[in-house]
Amino acid sequence: MLLCFAQWHAKSMVEDFLARKIPPHLELKYDDLDINILRGNVDFSKVHLEIKNEDSLVTYTTLQLEKLQLNGFGYMQLLFNNSIVLDELKVQRSAVNFYPYKKIEQKESESKGLVKLLKTILVKKLEIEDSSMHIMKDAADSIQVSIANYNLDFHSLKTDSDVVTRKIPVEYDSYEINASEIFVDLGKYETLQVANLFTSETELQIKDVHLSTKYSTKELSQLLVVERDHVDLQIPHVNLSDLNFGFKENRFEITASSLLFEQPHAEIYRDKLVADDMRIKPLYGRLLRKLPITIFVEQLKIENGYLSYEEKIAKEQHAGKLFFDELNAELNNVTNFEDAEDTKIHATAKLIGQADLKLDWTFNVNNSSDAFTASGELLNLEAEKLNAFLEPNLRVRTKGFVDEMYFTISGNSVSSQGDMKMKYQDFKFNILNKDRLKINKFLTVIGNVFVNDGSKTDRNGYRFGSIEVDRETNKSFYNYLWLNVSDGMVSTLTGNGKKE
């Protein structure tokens, strides 16, 4: 009888506390409350919580959950150590909806005092099962972030009046998060979707990533003021190993031993009929230096990828297309550490499914001039295979065979120099009329007068050329690389072919 009275009295006290002590901008409802004072357990069923602005009482967050369990409450810790200790906090089937556009931010001075009221809180195990979350963008039916289902486990989760003021306001020993059907609106033009995600304190695995433009290529062109890529990127599997993150001197830092992208498939389309974006495009060293966080990835790998690029130049013509398959790359020391070693990239691919392509590229993130070196080779290219890209884009039709092409480049954010050597056979080209349907015979004849067909070579069959390029700063690094390669080819094809 005494135990039953104690149970009833404890339940009444909790209900009274929740009714009187919860501030008016928090509205809490629940169907049932069960307390076991011997075990230190408190169970809530069918909980509904609304968080409102203190002044207007407009709701900006709602939380619904099937069951909330607080198990193993430590009475002695509370009485003698001024600490709230739980063996387990368990949440089942919760659903959170956050409407940030309804939230009115409080002044900093109004919110600081709350952390001083906190006791030390230790939850030995936090478990959230079969839950969902939605963050709205600017209307009730406009989603910024959505997670259809997630499960979360934290061990030895702790905070106190000191920890809660830090950038990461909790400490923990370990955690695991599993989530599925993730959607993120990345802004005006793109969305990101992820089928499954698993992360712990040392690892991140993501399956079926899809980054895509919201609109068709035609719709995007109608919306744009300046040119922008239409993107469709799919990655079946991403793995980040030996993950570590935290704040160091008020700057967020993330490090990992390896980052792997398996079989990425990217299709990029650019409508050049849209006005050029004349903003300066920084090279990758500068991009890394200007990141708001510190990163270090010892090795980044791309395995068996595919990349296609289409560019539409003329309204009446279809877009020209290049593609690279069997794309493999290894990037070492991807970082913006102040004492960083050189970032080194090695990549191989098949150009248009036929020619072997190799690229090596090195730069140091801390070099303010963005100095870099690059070298590459192209083997066994049937020139006619490039016509699907060259005809609509450059009004050129080629034929012949490139046995070997090698180039080296050294440059910075302003200019570059280098050299090239080629071994090729029966190389010729035709210049097309503006309609790209017929050959401009006059320009073709004049052009081919200056092009060596590959017959005048050194004793090893090579012709040589030089490279000298001024960078177009409103274009990407890959445009810069292409300018270097094309300048070297023109020099090799039309010059004296001798090594200087």
Instruction: List the structure tokens of 59.
Output: 């709701």
Please tell me the distance from the alpha carbon of residue 379 to that of residue 357, in angstroms, as a whole number: 7
**Amino acid at site 175:** Y
Of the candidates 182, 204, 230, which is a domain's last residue? 182
> Which of these, 301, 284, 260, lies nearest to 340 by C-alpha position?
284
Cα–Cα nearest to 482, from 378, 384, 385: 378
- Report the run of H or E that residue 89 belongs to, with start and end: strand 88-98
What are the tens digits of pLDDT across the range 37-48?
778 788 999 999
The whole-angstrom separation of Cα 445 and Cα 130 is 72
Overall domain count for the chain: 2
For 323, the token pair is 């593609």
Report yes or no: 45 and 97 within 8 Å, Cβ to Cβ: no
Q: What is the pLDDT of residue 16?
A: 66
**Band of pLDDT at residue 415, cut at 50, 70 and 90:** very high
* 190 and 176 in a common domain: no
* CB-count exposure of residue 426 (10 Å: 0-12, 13-18, 19+): exposed
The winner for highest mean pLDDT among 109-113, 268-272, 436-440 is 268-272
If asked whether residues 28 and 93 sit together in one domain, one would say yes
pLDDT value for 386:
79
- pLDDT band (50, 70, 90) for residue 393: low
d(Cα 131, Cα 147) in Å, to the nearest integer?
Answer: 9
Let me know whether 444 and 384 are in one domain. Answer: yes
Distance CA 258, CA 297 (A): 6
Tell me, yes or no, whether 119 and 230 share the same domain. Answer: no
Q: Domain boundary residue among 159, 182, 205?
A: 182
User: Does residue 63 surpass a pLDDT of 50?
Assistant: yes
Quickly state the pLDDT bin for 78 (edges 50, 70, 90): low
Question: Count of CB atoms within 10 A of residue 427's CB?
Answer: 20
Statement to judge: residues 177 and 197 lie in one domain: no
With bands split at pLDDT 50, 70 and 90, how would you rate the model's confidence at 250?
confident
Report phi then psi at 365, rounded to 5.
-60, -25
DSSP 279: S
Residues 304 and 361 in one domain: yes
Could you give the count of Cα atoms lying within 13 Å of 447 in the half-sphere of its Cβ? Answer: 16
Q: How many CA atoms lie within 13 A of 1 on its CB side?
A: 0
pLDDT given for residue 428 in this prediction = 73
pLDDT in tens, 10-20: 566 666 666 67
> For residue 329, what pLDDT is reported?
98
| DSSP tag of 63 | E
Asked if residue 234 and residue 167 are part of one domain, the reply reads no
* 9 vs 33: CA distance, rounded Å: 13
For the chain, the maximum distance between any two Cα atoms, rounded to a whole number of angstroms, is 110
Contact 370, 416 (CB under 8 A): no
Same domain, 115 and 192: no
Average pLDDT over residues 17-36: 83
DSSP-derived 3-state class of residue 394: helix
Domain match, 348 and 443 both: yes
> ∠ CA(270), CA(220), CA(321), 5° rounding?
25
Give the rounded percent of residues in the chain with a pLDDT score beyond 90. 62
Q: Does 390 share its domain with 488?
A: yes
Query: Of 147, 164, 182, which closes a domain?
Result: 182
* Co-location of 99 and 190 in the same domain: no
The tens digit of pLDDT for each residue in 303-314 reads 999 999 998 887
Indicate whether 11 and 106 sit together in one domain: yes
With bands split at pLDDT 50, 70 and 90, how would you rate the model's confidence at 500? confident
- Among 82-91, 167-176, 181-190, 452-461, name the one with the lowest average pLDDT: 452-461
- Least confidently predicted of 198-202, 438-442, 482-486: 438-442
Least confident piece of the model among 41-55, 368-382, 390-404, 456-470: 390-404
Q: Tell me the pLDDT tens digit for each residue of 339-384.
A: 999 999 999 999 999 999 999 999 999 999 999 999 999 999 998 8
Nearest to 93 by CA among 69, 46, 63, 129: 129
The predicted pLDDT at position 202 comes to 93
- Do 420 and 464 form a contact (C-beta atoms < 8 A)? yes
Q: How confident is the model at residue 167 (pLDDT cuts 50, 70, 90)?
A: confident
Using 50, 70 and 90 to split pLDDT, how confident is the model at 319?
A: confident
**Cα–Cα distances in angstroms (integers) from residue 177 to residues 121, 200, 252, 284, in the given order:** 22, 6, 21, 32
- Domain of 458 in residue numbering reads as 186-500
What is residue 221's predicted lDDT score, i.e. its pLDDT?
96
